[in-house]
Structure 1
Amino acid sequence: MTNEMAVCQVAFSVLDLRRTMSWYQEVLGFLPSGGSTDQGGPEAAAMQGLPVCRLDMAWMVGRQDFFQLEFFRYHEPRPAPRRPDAHPSDLGWAAIGLWVADFDKVVHRLGEAGTPPATPVTGSAPGRRVGVRDPEGVLLEIMESDVHLPGAELTGVARPEADVAVRFARLVVRDIGQTRTFFEEALGFAEAGQPLHDASHEPLWLGEPPQETLLLRAGHFLLELVSYPDSRDRPEGYLISDQGLLNIALGSRHTEDYRRLLSRARDSSATVHGELRIGSAAASYLTGPGGISVELLTIPDLAIERAAGFHPLE
């Protein structure tokens, strides 16, 4: 019997890798887990659906087992910076949500780091939330209380001493129905059964709340689909290497899970880009409806799992 594919990674394209890594460690409590410089080449470009690819990369981990943040600093193609008037209602990957063990400490650190909250604190202890932008402008929602939804409880706690866990990602789409079909039928997500936000969380949207929302889950990870009547398309010439949230990845330690899901993705409306293999590990990027980027990966070997940044540096 094999495990289902679960979300195992959130990836970013950043302009200042050192500053970003320092902020996520010192302010939020993530642990460095490795990295590499001057990577890429034709196979990596084909996997990511890019014309060329040369980059530095780094990883960080929190409380969860087999889950990481992945940060790319692209040298080629040269990443376009976030547009100055970027808004949470713009189409694409829009935000991630984090549970933290000490909400007050994190809010204090945000101010000390020169990145004060971007929204008022909502709710009262022990259920407070606040929005903040990281040094690259990515919107984060910080939660004092963990998400408690049936089937989405935080499991696989590998590092109970870690003070942070990634709990959800938000994706702004034009057509929730079409996107739901892609994530459920091609990628195996399930409906979570209840919303992640209510009217009391309106300030966290940094503007008007969305017209429609739908919450899905894959393992313990939640995916919040939202739509607005006036969402802007991605900038002309957009590439996933441009600054901001890049994608999420579904992963498994069992190769047969990966192969099965990759086959389903090929049978869907998704574009499956080239596959990159390193030993027994493999990864592929998909482009789904509306230009959504998702990665599929398998790492059945513990040594490769460590080398790929899923365990903190010793």
Structure 2
Amino acid sequence: MSSIKRVVLVGANGVVGAPVLQELLKNNYDVTVFTRPSSTHKFPSNVQVLNVDYEDVAGLTKALQNQDALISTIGFGGAPLQKNLVDAAIAAGVKRFLPSEYGCDTENEKVKVLPIFPPKLEVVAYLEEKTKGTTTSYTCVMTNAFLDWGLVNFGLLLDLPAKKIQRWDGGDAPVTANSVDFIARGIVSVLQHLEETKNRAVRLNDAVVTQNQLLAYAKKYAGEDGWEVVEVNGEAMEKEAYANLKTTPEDPNGYLLHFIKRAIYGAEFGGNFEHNNDNEVLGLKQKTDAEVEQLVKGLVK
């Protein structure tokens, strides 16, 4: 039986945070959500909501008293603030800290050197150092691409609503993609498998797909006509991203998704978790191709 009862969730109304909140409540955890004072988001009545200042370590420490776990789903821009959460969690005696990973495999050496990932790497290194000799441990949850979300947002896998796809290197690379509800179940399962997931990364593997496979499903249910297919060379896009970062660093539109997609699809970037995942440890089962097809069918409008 897990010793985790009381959980603090940061970023509870985000892409990952919202389904995590529902999964925590489904599993009868006592949930507290941290929000900024300016937040007007409404949460269920059985969720305690605390307005916090992420720059105030003493205040965060007080808010984390008697809490068992902290799950951070904070966005890219807020990643550095997690160091204050780490300090506060250790001071308050929080047992398990899950930093905001939920993306590409940042233990892969090729991923590490891409310039958008250092904020995440710094948080993990900080966790490793600061939790030594304490009662606080950590788990980093890695997912590679988002599956359902990535089919309808930013053309991460493809853009179903607009019938567009930016096809990377021919579209036949098998990559791991996780639906957001699967990610939520994996995160909550970490809390139920503390010893097996202690002080390490875990990898979730909901499905292994190719862009061409997803495009075929999309055409089957959304129709063959009207698709815009843009062929992309991964190495060329990586070079373009570096150039854009150098000339216009203030504009992430010129490089952020380029680097993310390079890490998702590039064979040497480790984005296929099929033979390197923790599904069995966490009690999770990978989708079949038929189940992936049904997911795509359900997203077609």
The TM-score normalised by the length of structure 1 is 0.26
Greater strand content: 1
Bigger relative contact order, structure 1 or 2 (CA pairs below 8 A, ≥6 apart): 1
Q: Point out the structure with max Rg over C-alpha.
A: 2
Q: Normalization by structure 2: what TM-score? A: 0.27
